[in-house]
Amino acid sequence: MSESNKTIKNKEEIEEFNLTVYEDNRGFFYEAYSKTLSDSINIQFKQDSVSYSKKGVVRGLHYQWEEPMGKLVQVINGRIIDYAVDIRTSSPSYGKYWSYELSKENRKCIWIPPGYAHGFEAIEDSVVLYKCSAYYNPDAEGAINFYDEAFGIKTYFSPDRAIISEKDRTACSFFEYSKNPRFLWETQDK
């Protein structure tokens, strides 16, 4: 392991939040973020990012190790299948993935802590909001191929149907990532 590896305590797990939506004949209102939500994951966010993805776009699986970045992800418009893969070496769930449907209709948001690679498939044209726990650092970002068979992700779009950047299409395999992992899992008992 290189010196730039980050040790992540095992309390850092994915969390799903159902936001309360108030609807009436005018439309709807909801709190996309509050201090209560921030306190529940004990994070101070540093940056908001927004992406627009056409139907069929696949993004990821991305991670950042310096400063480690976690993301609170929600869909403002459209529908995505959001994915997180545990990339913390020694974690009991190392290499396991989770998927969540996030949409304008269900108003869910997902906390994906540092130590997980993140990506999504846009099932519809979608606007996605990310609250990030670190500033973006292009010199310390990485990507693992979304279609790597090591994960067994059941994708909505096959690689030949997906709209995917060249950077993501040629991202390293999980096996290659495992040769020089950027995150180490550690139990709270140590």
Candidates 63, 97, 130, 177; catalytic one? 130
Give CA–CA dist 86/103, Å, rounded.
23
Candidates 62, 63, 116, 177; catalytic one? 62
Give CA–CA dist 60/142, Å, rounded.
9
The reply to whether 130 belongs to the active site is: yes
Q: Is the peptide bond before 67 cis (omega within 30 degrees of 0)?
A: yes
Q: Is the peptide bond before 19 cis (omega within 30 degrees of 0)?
A: no
Report CA 166 to chain centroid distance, whole Å.
19
SS3 of 173-188: CHHHHHHCCCEEEECC
The reply to whether 118 belongs to the active site is: no
Give CA–CA dist 113/45, Å, rounded.
12
Which residues are known to be catalytic?
62, 130
